[in-house]
Structures are given as structure tokens and as C-alpha cells.
Structure 1
Amino acid sequence: MSLTESTFILPKEAQLTQKQQQITQQILQFASQHLNAKTAAVFVLSGDAGAGKSVVLSTVFNELQKRTQSRDSVFYQTDNHLLVNHNEMLKIYWEIAGQTDYLKKKSFEKPTPFINRMNKRQKQADIVFVDEAQLLLSQADPFNHFKAANQLDEIMRLTHVLVIVADFNQVVKLKSYWSKSLLQQHLAGHPVEQADLNQQLRIQDDKLAAWINSLIEGKLRPLPAAADYELRIFADGQPLFAWVKAHDQVSGLSRILATTDFPFRVFSREPWYVTAGSLKLPWDRFNYQDRPWASQPETINEVGSIYTIQGFDLNYAGVILGPSVTYEPKTDQVIFHPEKFEDQTALQKRHQADLPDEKAAQIKILKNVVNILLKRGRYGLGIYAVDPALRQKLLMLAKK
């Protein structure tokens, strides 16, 4: 399985869309104009999951690092870094660095080590890129050795130009809670330029993407007919697993995923299990390998989570919607229950008073998790719902 088959990175024969090419040049021009800025200039690229944001970021960073070696370039010998707070995506970037001429593994790291090192050396970078910026810590987190108020302000203090990719529908922890309004508050006083990618490239059928969005907002609709996409609803987890394995044998890169609604312990030596009807499979283990979880053949027999699959492309995704996602027939609504969500650390109360409604923010976290999982598959999506009412409703809609 090649790297380009399993991630957001384009194969050599593929090309950026016209919009992606335009934004690539826009970012390079913005960076060149603000290289000597006294107050960090910030470029914000936003868009939904699967819109190709990371493709643009990776392309720009590769071109920038290439230009650092040219004496004729304004970027000659500039000090540039790409940061991401997600273990699996960081591994992807490290793997990319080993396959290109201009990228070095040391240029990719997590925000906290970057911040601590630059502070210790009293240095300032020229250009910093942040992928999945919605995962930046927005409060102190002793567990991750971060003691400042938030990572965004710290990074802006340590660079002349900052380029961030953000999707506020992929915020998955309250300790990294960001919204458009909160971001704008922190960017006040900085030169800012924004761009948006709104074309869905992973799930290219507009009706299917709209169906997923409707489910997340609480309204179930009949399954759309898609000529080039397989959408299936399952009455039990075993046939869902068989469907995923069959596609993995033919197409590769097909995995079972689940909302974080089942017991687990980080770093546990003993397996923790996900149950879906008659199916019982272990959660993904903490991935100590350099290869991303989904690209390891043995993980076909595990259940992936947002912590192993976010930012990753699958060919076929089998998604288990756990007990926190239910259906209420009387109101014809999908209901999200934070109290049933097993990953309670993601919903822990924040110290800052920047959440207008904490319960609403917790529900938004759950919706974001479902959004991330349902939009992983490029060619197919299978769904099993633990809640009987939701499962019955989905099966009924599948027959229409």
C-alpha cells in the first residue's frame, strides 16, 4: 500500500484543482509580503472534511522548502516549520519527508515541543504552518507539558508568518475548543487573510454529503442514490465487518470505525472491546509504529477511532454509531447524548469562561466526531447503529 493511496497526499499523476492551485499561490504571495512582519501575519484556510485543505498545505510547504535553497528566492534560507497536534498525521508528514528531496523530518513536529524549544533558544521562525489547527490547545494542559494560556497565541509570538488550516466541525475536545468567533478574537490586531475550500473531494457526490450533514443536524432522510458510491445500512455488526473485509481484499484501505462510546484506557496492555450486535472487536491500540494505523494490514481486525483516523482517507469505511447517538420517533430527530459518551476527558469542563453554553459545546463535540467518521470513505460507507430505534429508522430509510 503506497503512501498516496492511504493519505491526503496526491499521487504524482494527479493535479490540484484550479481552486487549490489559486490558494497555493495566494499563500506563497502572502508569506513573501509579510516575511519581516513585526506582528505575526496569519493566513487562515478553512473548509469541510475532505475538501483538500491538507493537500494544499503540504504542496505549499514542499514548494516553500524548495525555494529556501534558491539564492534568487525571497525565501532563501528561511526557517520554516509545519506543526500538527495529531499523532497519525504527524507520521504521514514524516513519511512524506523521507520520499521528497526538499523536506526534512525535523521540520514536522507537534506544537508544544516547537513552542518550548523556540522559547528556550529565544528564537523566532520565519514561517509556521499548522495543520488541523482546530486541535491546538486553547487552555493549559499539564498532561501535554503545555503551561501557557493557548497554543495559537504562543505560536504567533514565535513566527513572522503563520498559515493555519482549520475546520471547526472537527473540534473533538473542549481543551482544544475553537470557534470562528474565538479565533477572530485571538487574531485581532494581526494582518489576516482568509480563503475557503468548499468543494468536497473525498465524497464527491453532493447528495451523499448533504445526507450526512442532515443526519448530523438531527434529521434523517431517505438514502440518496449514488452511481459511484456505495452507502449501506446494516442490521448487525458482523455483516458490516464482512463487508469491510471484502472491500479491503479487493480495494485495500477499508476499516471499521466507531464513535468513542465504548470503554477504553489509553496505553492499556489489555484489549478493550467495541460491541456491535454480535460483533466484538478490540479498539485500536496505541500506535507505537512509525506507519499510520490504517496503513497497517493487521489493523483490519481492530476498530479505529477519531484519534487514529482523523485526516486519513479510506476507500471504504464501516462506522459503528455508539450509544450516544439515538433516534426519537416522536420528534423524528437524531439525538446526541454527551452523558453516554465514553470519552469523557474530551468533554471535561474548561477553566476559561469562553463557552457560552457548555452542554451545547459538548453536543457539538459529539456531532463533530460523527462528521469525521462518516466522511472517511472515498468509495463507500457502511453504518451500524447500536441504538435500536436509530438502527430501525436507518434500515427503513434504506428500503425507500
Structure 2
Amino acid sequence: MENTLLKKLAENVKRQRGQAVRTAEKKAWLHSLSEFVRVLDDAGLGAVEVLVEFPMPHCKLSSADVVLAGVHPVTRADAYVVVELKQWGSATAVDADADLFEVPGLPPKSHPAEQVLKYRNQIANNFGALDGHPEAVKAVVYLHNATHTTVGDLLLGAAVEGVPLFTSSERGGLIEYLRRNLADEPGHLSADRLLQSPIRPNQHFLRKAADVIRGVGQFDLLDQQLDAYNLVNARTRLASQANTKRVVIIVGGPGSGKSAIALSLVREHIRQNNRVAYATGSRTVTKTLRQHVARKDAQFEGFFRYFMEFANSKHNGLDLLIADEAHRVRKNSSDRFRAEWRSNDPQIKSIINAAHVPVFLLDEHQVVKPDEVGTVAAIIAQAQALDVAYDVIRLDGQWRCGGSAVYDQWVLDLLGLGPSDGEWNGGIDPEKWPGDPNFDVVLANSPEDMEEFLRAKLSDGLSARMTAGFCWPWSDPNPDKTLIPDVILGTWARPWNAKTTRDRIGSAPSSHYWATADGGFEQIGCVYTAQGLEFDWVGVIIGPDLVARAGKFVPRREYSRDKDLIPARVTYEQFGRHVRNVYKVLLTRGLRGVVIYAADPETREFLAALINA
């Protein structure tokens, strides 16, 4: 019976996550779920509905171990208990602040009460069935292999979080807790109301970030995100106290929560009056953050900087330096106008020099130019050369693209990109789009159809932009400040986003604000203006620089207009890797859906067989 249940659970979780379940997780189910079922039986709650591996509303790769659904014994209203099950036998706080815990056989872990509280908040704040009734959701931790003595540090932390934690020593207390919150009555109707309720749309990152940086909101960081956040806080505290250094590398795909971690860290260290800065290698991203997050408030604007600014900075002048979009780190810092922003030192070395704890957040599948050298291997090599210890954390979550891990993997396979960062694999066969209720993939028959579809989304109050591979010329504006329609497909033609970085060109915003300002929809954006940003809907024109032949995508450099990719010094292999990464970036900018149009007829047929099948 157990084997049948585990097999069925593994199949459902694989369908939900888009990836196979690891053997270790199956073993955890076998031991933890078996014990918890016995607890429910002893509590006399056999009729309560048990939802196992309950997915978070905007990230299907994150899931609560168990959500119990039933009826409250006093109020008779729907009641839910989120349960975090751990097999830990012991846990010891890393330091007196108890943000992180050493668990035998595992990297430093966050407090399980903090983790389950985030799950509880995600469920209470996003499911329509709980509107006005967030108190209907409780959270609890059960460490069935531990005793009161072996996890004493955790018990102190749990009291602060307000989430009860029970070990095998307090098994009776867990039974009483469950009885106080759930009646011994069928819970299937309560479960149905939760599962069938509408889910609130994910709040746009920039709007949320503006609240977070001011301390009036927070990102609910989950799983590895929470571990990364607490690890950086612990490393910063210890390094500052001991006047030492520690490099932290956080790796994750688009939408995995890197920027949410980064801004949460900035807010926390502002609160602590620490010396902190947030830097990127993108003028578009930095200027967008200054405008939409700092909102021209001098108190916050100075926190958002460029990698180049640290070319000659004071050694350990900061406690914490967040290097977001670190895949865009250059070989060295160079600026035409400011000598203090120029250095022959590797830019990675300059960033490490600037703070007690430099944090590099990157996605190697977003390296799109030959002079971008931000890779895990390069950062580790520089840390080792400087004799600085380092940590590497990999994020598996997916908060963009409707939280669809299925879509993220489908794009990797489509473009022949390997599962690990920086890899590509021509042996991967593209798969048919299996569909996902949380994310729409639409194939347009023409650019006119794509534009009409996206314009309708704009009329519905959603954000949308059109993007393309860099396969058309990018002309200067006309004398009357109108833009030239360079992107030509048959009778349809549209201009690229404006070249200027300062002022509007007629109704067109400057290039830095194409993604967010009014009027941006009327121009076509490229990878350099879209990278690091997101929209409800994105349109992607796949140009003739990447076409489908014999069932796979083939790069064609002769059709590229990207001055960084066409010089002879860029090898064919380098061009192929970068152009695949370009389209990976563009295809993963959408929160709700993507509309794809291919300029090449054979490529359109290839995509139709995958998407419309």
C-alpha cells in the first residue's frame, strides 16, 4: 500500500514541478509521512483531509510538506494547518543570533518554524477562499526524530516565531494542538474550497520592492531563498565582527528569487545601520530601480550603484555588497568619463575587495556578450586567489512564468541549453509544450497577430512588451525625432526602442525606461533593455539568427546585427551559446504568458508542431 501511494505521489509531484523526484525525498516521505499518519490516527482525526506536497501559489517548485484541511471544532469554519516535517535528529545554532543551524549531513539551514511560517503566509495571502480570514491557517513543525534536548536551540527560536515546534518528546502536545484546531469530521469540502479558489495575481516585482525597501512589506522567501538570506546575514555579522571576508555566490534561473533575496538583504542591513550597497552591471536595471524602487528619494537612491563604482573603492568599505545580475560582470572596470571608475584589476576582484561580504547573484544562462565573465568558476577562482572562503547556494524556485517549472525546462530543451548553468547540449530534443494552467504559450501566425494579442492585454490593464533578437539595423532617429521602423517583417514594421539614455524621442521613452514607461509598447525591445525586468505578457520575435533545421535550433551569425557578437574574434561556438542565451532571456520575461513569432517560415512550422500539437 505504501509503495503504491509513494509511486502515485511521485508521479503527481513530477507533473507539478516538471522534474523527477529525488530518491532522498521519497525516503523522507516514507519515514515522515508514515509517522505523521500515526499521529493523526492517535489524535482521532482520521477524517481530516491530508494534502501532501501542497504547492505554493506562485512557485510550483516550493511546496509545504502537508496541509491539513478540515473544520474548526469551535467556530465550525474551514480550518487549515500547514505542517513542516523534518527528519533532523539534532540542530545547533551557528551563533547567538540563531538565524542558521548546523544539521548533521546538511548545509546550514534556516529555522523550520520560519520556513513553515512563510508557507502559511503564502497560502493565507494568496488564496481567494481565505480572503478576510487569514487566521484560518495555522502552522506547526514536527521533528519526529529529535528530542527536546537535541534541538534546544530550535525550541528557543520557535517561541520567537510564534509557530509551535514539537519533537518526539512532545508528541502528545502535537496531538492536543491538532485537536484544538481541527474537529474529527470530514475535511474534503474545506479542501475543495481551498483547491478550487482563485489565486491572487503575483504583485509586480518593482511595486513590491518599493514597499520592501521602505520596511512596509516583505518578500516571503521560501526554501533555498530563505536559507540564502539567513546565510548572508550570518556571514556578514561574523565577518564584520572579526574583520574578515566571505564571498557568497547565489545561482538561479530567471524568476528564482535572486533579486527578492537581494532587496530583502538591503532592507535588513539598512535597518541595522550597516554599510550596504546594491550594484548591477546594467544601466537599465540600476536606473529602473532608482526610479521605481528608490522613487528619487535620496535616502534610498544612493544604495543602487554600478559594478564600475567599486574599481578603486576602500578595502572593506562596506559590510555587505550585493552584486545582482553578476553574470554581467566585465573583465575589468572601464568608464570614459570617470577615472575613479577605471581599473586594470579584474572587476570580480574589485567587488570582493569592497566589502566584508560580497554577494554575487547570477544566472550563467544569461551571459549574452563575450566580455561578460560572471561565472561561478570565475568568482571561485578569484576568491581562492585572494584566499577568501566562499559559499555557493543554488536556487531551484520559479516565481516568474506563472511559477511554471515546466515552462522553464521546456525553454531550456527548446534552445538546446543544458540543465546546469553555462552548459548547452545539442543532443537535447525539444519537447512538445505540455501546457500549464499557470502560464500560457501562444504561437502567433504573424507579427500583426502578436501585436493585436498583446495590445488587448494592455487594454485589460496588464503590462506587455514586444521584443526581438538583434537581427535588424538600429538607426538614429529622424530630424523630427521620430523613430525609424527598422524591424521589418513583410508589411509590418516597428522601431527599436530609442537609443537615447536621457530624454524621450517624441512619445518614445529613453532606452533605460522602455520596459516600464508609458509609450514603450510601440517600440521593439532587445535583450539589453529587457534583461532583468518582467512584464505580465511578453512577445518574442525569433529572428533569422536562430532557426530550426532538422528538428533543432541552429545559430546563423551572418544574420546578426549585434556588434558584440559578429566580430571574427568571437568563435562560432561562442556566438551559438550567446544567441541561445539571448532568446532564453527574452522568452522568460513574462509573468502570465508569452507570444512567439518566428521570422523564418521553417521555424514557424517547427514551433507549430511543438506548441499547437
User: Which range, TM-score by smaller chain?
Assistant: 0.7 to 0.9
What displacement does 1:393 show? Answer: 1.3
Cα displacement (A) at 1:215: 1.1
Q: Does the 8 A contact of 2:206 with 2:289 survive in 1?
A: no
Following superposition, the deviation at residue 23 of structure 1 comes to 2.0
Tell me by how many angstroms 1:251 deviates: 3.6
Q: Distance in 1 between matches of 2:205 and 2:472?
A: 26
- Which of 279, 292, 310 is the equivalent residue of 2:531? 310
Residues 257 and 82 of structure 1, relative CA distance in 2, 3 Å threshold: same
Which one of the candidate residues 246, 257, 279 is aligned to 1:52? Answer: 257
Q: Which amino acid aligns with 1:224?
A: P
Q: What secondary structure is seen at the aligned counterpart in 1 of 2:371? A: helix
Contact 1:261/1:323 (<8 A) preserved: yes
Is the aligned partner of 1:226 residue 2:436? yes
Q: Is the 1:97–1:103 Cα contact (8 Å) retained in structure 2?
A: no
Task: Tell me the alpha carbon deviations over residues 128-155 of structure 1, each in whole angstroms, 9 at most, x when there is no partner.
Answer: 1111011111246465863414211112
Contact 1:228 1:379 (8 Å CA) reproduced: yes
* Cα distance change of structure 1 residues 165 and 103 upon mapping to structure 2, 3 Å threshold: farther
Aligned pair 1:210/2:429, yes or no? no
Aligned to 1:280: 493
Matched, 1:334 2:577: no
For normalisation by structure 2, the TM-score amounts to: 0.57
Measure, in 1, the Cα distance between the counterparts of 2:374 and 2:471: 23
Cα distance change on mapping 1:176 and 1:313 into 2, 3 Å? same
Distance 1:223 1:325 in 2: 19
Is 1:192 paired with 2:390? yes
Residue aligning to 2:317 = 124
CA contact (8 A) 1:46 1:167 kept: yes
RCO higher in 1 or 2 (8 Å CA, sep ≥ 6)? Answer: 1
Amino acid at match of 1:54: S
TM-superposition CA deviations, 1:33-63 (whole Å, max 9, x none): 1125666421111100111110110011111
User: How much has 1:346 moved relative to structure 2?
Assistant: 4.4
Pair 349,79 (structure 1): closer, same or farther in 2 beyond 3 Å: farther
Match of 1:30 among 235, 238, 256: 235
Deviation of 1:99 after TM superposition, in Å, equals 5.8
CA contact (8 A) 1:42 1:191 kept: yes
Letter of the 1:227 partner, please give it.
P
Answering whether residue 589 of structure 2 is matched by residue 376 of structure 1, we say: yes
Task: State the 1:279 CA deviation.
Answer: 2.2
Task: State the shift of 1:207 in Å.
Answer: 2.3
1:9 and 1:265, CA in 2 relative to 1: closer, same or farther beyond 3 A? farther
Deviations 1:142-190 (A, max 9, x none): 6586341421111222322211111111111111133332232212121
Q: Deviations over 1:343-374 (max 9, x none)?
A: 12246577xxxxxx943222111111111000
Question: 1:71 — aligned with what?
Answer: none
Letter in 2 for 1:159: A
In structure 2, C-alpha distance between the alignment counterparts of 1:249 and 1:87, rounded to whole Å: 30
Residue identity in the other structure for 2:502: Y
- Displacement of 1:102 after TM fit? 11
- Residues 71-220 of structure 1 aligned to structure 2 (within 5 Å): 78-95=274-291, 98=294, 104-116=300-312, 118=313, 124-139=317-332, 141=334, 146-188=342-384, 189-203=387-401, 204-217=403-416, 219-220=429-430
Contact between 2:469 and 2:526, CA under 8 Å: does it hold in 1? yes
Larger mean Cα displacement after TM superposition, 226-235 or 41-50: 226-235
Cα distance between partner residues in 1 of 2:301 and 2:535 = 25
3-state SS of paired residue (1:104): helix
CA distance in 1 between partners of 2:337 and 2:558 (Å): 25
Measured after TM superposition, the shift of residue 381 of structure 1 is: 0.6
Matching residue's letter, 2:532: G
CA gap 1:37/1:193 in 2 versus in 1, 3 angstroms: farther
Aligned to 1:75: none
Q: Tell me if structure 1 keeps the 8 A contact 2:308–2:334.
A: no
Q: Does the 8 Å CA contact 1:65/1:102 hold for their aligned counterparts?
A: no
1:72 corresponds in structure 2 to none
Amino acid at match of 1:310: Q
Distance 1:100 1:271, change over 3 A: closer
Q: Quote the offset at 1:340 in angstroms.
A: 2.4
Identity across the alignment (%): 20
Distance, in Å, in 1 between the alignment partners of 2:348 and 2:218 is 36
Greater shift in the superposed pair: 124-133 or 265-274: 265-274
Task: Give the whole-Å Cα distance in 2 for the aligned partners of 1:397 and 1:144.
Answer: 49
Confirm or deny: 8 A CA contact 2:218 2:264 kept in the other structure. Answer: no
Q: Please say if 1:363 is aligned against 2:576.
A: yes
SS at match of 2:539: strand
Residue identity opposite 1:153 in structure 2: K
Q: Compared with structure 1, are the counterparts of its residues 38 and 174 closer, same or farther at alpha carbon in structure 2 (3 Å cutoff)?
A: farther
- Deviation larger for 49-58 or 158-167: 158-167
The 1-side partners of 2:318 and 2:444 are apart by 51
Partner Cα separation in structure 1 for residue 610 and residue 311 of structure 2: 50
Q: What is the SS of the residue equivalent to 1:381?
A: strand
* 2:515 equivalent in structure 1: 294
d(CA) in 2 for partners of 1:82 and 1:296?
Answer: 23
Contact 1:37 1:160 in 2 (8 A): no
Residue type at the aligned position of 2:204: E
Contact 1:40 1:191 in 2 (8 A): yes
CA distance, structure 1, for counterparts of residue 245 and residue 477 of structure 2: 38
In the TM superposition, what are the counterparts of 1:13-24 in structure 2 within 5 Å? 15-24=220-229
Following the alignment from structure 2 to structure 1, what is the Cα–Cα distance between the partners of residues 244 and 554?
Answer: 44
SS in structure 2 at match of 1:164: strand
Provide the rounded CA distance (Å) in 2 between the counterparts of 1:165 and 1:266.
35
Q: Distance in 1 between matches of 2:411 and 2:291?
A: 32
Task: Please say which of residues 310-319 and 196-205 is displaced more in the overlay.
Answer: 196-205
- 1:249-264 equivalence runs, <5 A: 249-264=459-474
Q: Is the 8 A contact 1:235 1:384 kept in 2?
A: yes
- TM superposition shift of 1:317: 0.6
User: Unmatched 5+ residue regions in structure 2?
Assistant: 1-201, 212-216, 417-425, 504-509
Cα 1:52–1:13, aligned 2, differ >3 Å: closer, same or farther? Answer: closer
Secondary structure, counterpart of 1:320 in structure 2: strand
Greater gyration radius: 2
Distance 1:28 1:55, change over 3 A: same
Partner of residue 235, structure 1: 445
SS in 2 for 1:363: helix
Report the Cα distance in structure 1 between the residues aligned to 2:245 and 2:521, rounded to whole angstroms. 44
Greater alpha carbon shift after TM alignment, 99-108 vs 379-388: 99-108
- Gap change, CA 1:36 and 1:364, over 3 Å in 2: farther
